[in-house]
Amino acid sequence: MDELIDAAAAPYRNAGRFPWHFARGKLAHDPIFAELLTRGLIPDGAHVLDLGCGLGLLSSWLTAAQDLWRRAAWPAAWPKPPRLASYHGIEWVGREATRACEALKAGIVTCGDIRTSAFGAANVVAIFDVLHYIDCASQDGVLERVHEALTPRGGLLLLRIGDAAAGWRFQVTRLVDVLMTSIRRARWQRVHCRPLASWLARLDALGFDVAVAPMSDGTPFANVLLVARLPAADARSVVDGRRTTSSNT
Ligand SMILES: C[S@@+](CC[C@H](N)C(=O)[O-])C[C@H]1O[C@@H](n2cnc3c(N)ncnc32)[C@H](O)[C@@H]1O
């Protein structure tokens, strides 16, 4: 695990000391990165679209995992890591997008607003800790466009949210998030949080089959990973007449 964290953080040295330290800390302490691999959540040959990707850590993590696998340095108990067919990140803050490109590859992350940027084709969409920064109508708009991007071949949405119904753990999550983001941006950051049940209802209405995985191990937070699978369009119309197209949801 330490070798994987070091390898995934190493490219960020090219972007400066802060991005490198940040990458190491986040990869080591945020449980989602290891869970994606130990649960084998991302399929081989994935075309990944990472919305609100920050430094593009997911790309570096999966690439480093593949390298370790090829060098036979992979933990025997973990499933084979996925090979990335493509990765595209969209990030609002220009400085983060620039650092990601300096560290990883020119153009791998584009600076843009996920409310309006074109998504292109993908079969895996990752949105980790992002949607609460935009209002609820915009959240729904993004989810509808993710649904369109995954149609007609079907695919996977990995969406991590803070569960607004999770009591004091949610209050801690929100407080830390608002304080950290407001300090970094030098302006007060508003957030728009929803209870888990509301996210599930929204995804269900769009035709996703959703599994819920707590994603706060070792932290005081109320984060939940929604593993939302969208069957291919032709399979959907057979499986469930209620969910034939995005236009009737
Ligand atoms: C908490 S960070 C998570 C970064 C990344 N998903 C990760 O897990 O490492 C949230 C990111 O979402 C970005 N973001 C917020 N609103 C956005 C928007 N409307 N369009 C694109 N990115 C956005 C922020 O700039 C920030 O980098």
246, pLDDT greater than 70: no
Other beta carbons within 10 angstroms of residue 234's beta carbon come to 11
Does residue 134 line the site of ligand 1, with CB under 6 A?
yes
- 119 Cβ below 6 A of ligand 1: no
C-beta of residue 30 within 8 angstroms of C-beta of residue 68? no
pLDDT computed for residue 183 by the predictor: 78
Mean pLDDT of 150-179: 86
Q: Say which amino acid occupies 224.
A: V
pLDDT at residue 245 above 70?
no
Least trusted range by pLDDT, from 21-25, 71-75, 105-109, 135-139:
71-75
Q: Evaluate: CB of 114 within 6 angstroms of ligand 1.
A: yes
Name the CA dihedral angle for 140, 146, 152, 153, rounded to a multiple of 10 degrees.
-140
Q: Among 163, 219, 172, which Cα is nearest to 193's?
A: 163
Domain ranges of the chain: 2-237+244-248
| CATH hierarchy code of domain 2-237+244-248 | 3.40.50.150
The DSSP secondary-structure symbol of 9 reads H
d(CA 87, CA 108): 7
Atom of ligand 1 nearest to the CA of 93: 25
Q: Measuring from atom 11 of ligand 1, which residue has the nearest CA?
A: 52
What are the distances in angstroms from CA 233 to CA 126, 158, 238?
A: 20, 19, 9
**Atom 5 (ligand 1) nearest CA:** 53
pLDDT of residue 170 exceeding 60: yes
pLDDT of 165: 87
Residue with tokens 């400066």: 16
* Cα–ligand 1 centroid distance for 70 (angstroms): 31
Q: Whose CA is nearest to atom 27 of ligand 1?
A: 54
Q: Are 50 and 56 in contact (CB under 8 A)?
A: yes
Ligand 1 in reach of 115 Cβ (< 6 A):
yes
- Residue minimizing CA distance to atom 4 of ligand 1: 54
| Closest CA to ligand 1's atom 12 | 52
> Where residue 153 falls among pLDDT bands split at 50, 70, 90?
confident
| CA 248 – ligand 1 centroid, Å | 30
Residue % of the chain over a pLDDT of 70: 94
CB 216 within 8 A of CB 167: no
- Count the alpha carbons within 13 Å of 186 in the hemisphere toward its beta carbon: 0
